[in-house]
Amino acid sequence: MQFSTYSSPHTGHTENVTRVMAQVLLAMVPGIIAMTWYFGWGVVINILLASLAAVSAEAFVLKLRKRAVAPVIMDLSAVVTAVLFAVSIPPLLPWWLTVGGMLFAIIVVKQLYGGLGFNPFNPAMAAYVLLLVSYPTEMTQWLPPRELSTHSLDFLTTLGIIFGNALPQGLSWDALTMATPLDEMRTQLDMGKMISEIRQSPLWGDYGGLGIEWVANWFLLGGLFLLWRRIITWHIPLSMIGAILIMGTAWWLAEPEANPFPAFHLFSGGVILGAFFIATDPVTAVTTKKGQLIFGALIGVLVYSIRSWGGYPDAVAFAVLLMNMAAPTIGYYTQPRVYGEQEKKDGA
């Protein structure tokens, strides 16, 4: 009798990449719904557009590389990249920027390095940064949250703006858009205003940006889901958030009128999304547990530093990309002690 032969172990696998990615997407759903509620249909349109662009770009490159297309597309990693990118960009970003960003993310940042697993940089964040430095105006035209919005844009109008730059009659970009809370905070502080004055602005909610704090809460819920499902571990989110909180608290305590309170940093921009969904991207993060604590903490330090003393109001993308560069080195020097390995004695 003839039998099939395989290499051990012979047990089936308990997990697969598609399921991992699908759970990441699922975890983002509450945050996406909240974002759509506060910022309109643009969020959904961007997600669909970015996903379509990302998947097409991936299929195109795989064809060029003469690789099987279906199994790679099915791993859903391109869709995760697209969704992360789409929730980071302004809801009314012109379509060609969204598509251009995705082409860059998938073709240059991901596939030119060898595809999933081989890219040193987070593709979504690299694309975001590319657009931010190349098209600063378009990339900072955020909509106000629905409470402050005077014009509610329906689906078709939003579609028209994104694809045809067709603003409704009598509406200008200035009237339609508004600074983000982080931007506002920065501008006002630069003008020498005190925190208590700045807080008078209607842009603020209870502890973060109005609306944005709730988007962050829902993303936080998704992050906890990923922790519960063991898709991610606590190390990177906790150390990143911890570092921001520690620095935020220290400066706030020293000068409460010149530095925003710590919760502001967490709930006014991309920190929660970044801590649970972006910095934890396993491909571009550190794999050792000790290394993850260092990696996360340094991202936190960079986020706080760039926000407080750097040139950009939000800094998650820059911080993550900078630490992506350091990840292999951190990993090498933070290898766990192997079973039975003797502690190195002094002089030995």
Partner 1 sequence: MSATAPLTLGHFHGGIHMPDHKAESTTQPVAAVKIPPQLILPLQQHIGAPAKAVVSAGEHVLKGQLIAAASGRVSAPIHAPTSGVISAIEDHLVPHSSGLSARCIIIDTDGRDEWAELPPPIDDFTSADNAVLIERIRESGIVGLGGATFPSSIKMEARNNSIDTLIINAAECEPYITCDDMLMREQADQIVSGIRIIQHILGAKRCLIGIEDNKPEAIKSMSAAVAAASLQHTDVVTVPTLYPSGGERQLTLLLTGKEVPSHGIPANIGIVCQNVGTVYAIADAVLKGRPLISRIVTITGEGVAQPQNVYSLIGTSAGELVSQAGGYTGKANQLICGGPMMGYSMPTDEVPVTKGVNCLLVASEQDCPPPEPATACIRCGKCAEACPAQLLPQQLYWHSRSRNFDKAQDYHLFDCIECGCCSHVCPSHIQLVHYYRFAKTQIWSKEKEKIKADHARQRHEARVARLERIAAERKARMRKKKAVLKSKKGGGDSAKKAVIAAAVKRAAAKKSAAMAATDSNQSATE
Name the site residues for partner 1 (rule: CB under 8 A): 1-17, 19-20, 71-72, 75, 77, 115-118, 233, 282-283, 285, 287-288, 331, 335-342
Distance CA 95, CA 196 (A): 39
Q: Which is nearer to partner 1, 337 or 345 (CB)?
A: 337
Strand partners, 142: 178
CB of 69 to partner 1, least distance (A): 13
Q: Is-contact 259 268, C-beta < 8 A?
A: no
Q: Which residues contact residue 286 at a Cβ distance below 8 angstroms, ignoring those fewer than 6 apart?
A: 292, 294, 295, 327, 330, 331, 334
CB of 2 to partner 1, least distance (A): 6
Q: Is-contact 269 316, C-beta < 8 A?
A: yes
CB of 219 to partner 1, least distance (A): 20
Q: What is the dihedral of CA 42, 47, 49, 50, to 10 degrees?
A: 130
Say whether the peptide bond before residue 30 is cis (omega within 30 degrees of 0).
no
CB of 239 to partner 1, least distance (A): 15
CB of 294 to partner 1, least distance (A): 15
Can you read off the two tokens belonging to residue 82?
Answer: 């697209």
Please measure the distance between the N-terminal and C-terminal CA atoms of the chain and give it in whole angstroms: 58
Count of residues in the chain: 348
Q: Which is nearer to partner 1, 63 or 230 (CB)?
A: 230
Q: Which is nearer to partner 1, 254 or 338 (CB)?
A: 338
Q: Which is nearer to partner 1, 222 or 260 (CB)?
A: 222
Residue 149, Cβ neighbours under 10 Å: how many?
16
Q: Which is nearer to partner 1, 309 or 339 (CB)?
A: 339
Q: Which is nearer to partner 1, 16 or 165 (CB)?
A: 16
Q: Which is nearer to partner 1, 246 or 326 (CB)?
A: 326
DSSP state, 112?
A: G
CB of 284 to partner 1, least distance (A): 8
Q: 3-class SS at 224?
A: helix
Residue 271, Cβ neighbours under 10 Å: how many?
30
Rg of the chain, C-alpha, whole Å: 22
Q: Which is nearer to partner 1, 117 or 256 (CB)?
A: 117
Q: Is-contact 180 142, C-beta < 8 A?
A: yes
CB of 282 to partner 1, least distance (A): 4
Q: Which residues contact residue 58 at a Cβ distance below 8 angstroms, ignoring those fewer than 6 apart?
A: 72, 73, 78, 106, 110, 111
Q: Which is nearer to partner 1, 109 or 285 (CB)?
A: 285
Can you read off the two tokens belonging to residue 297?
Answer: 């903490």
CA angle 288, 22, 230 (to 5 degrees): 35
CB of 110 to partner 1, least distance (A): 11
CB of 273 to partner 1, least distance (A): 20
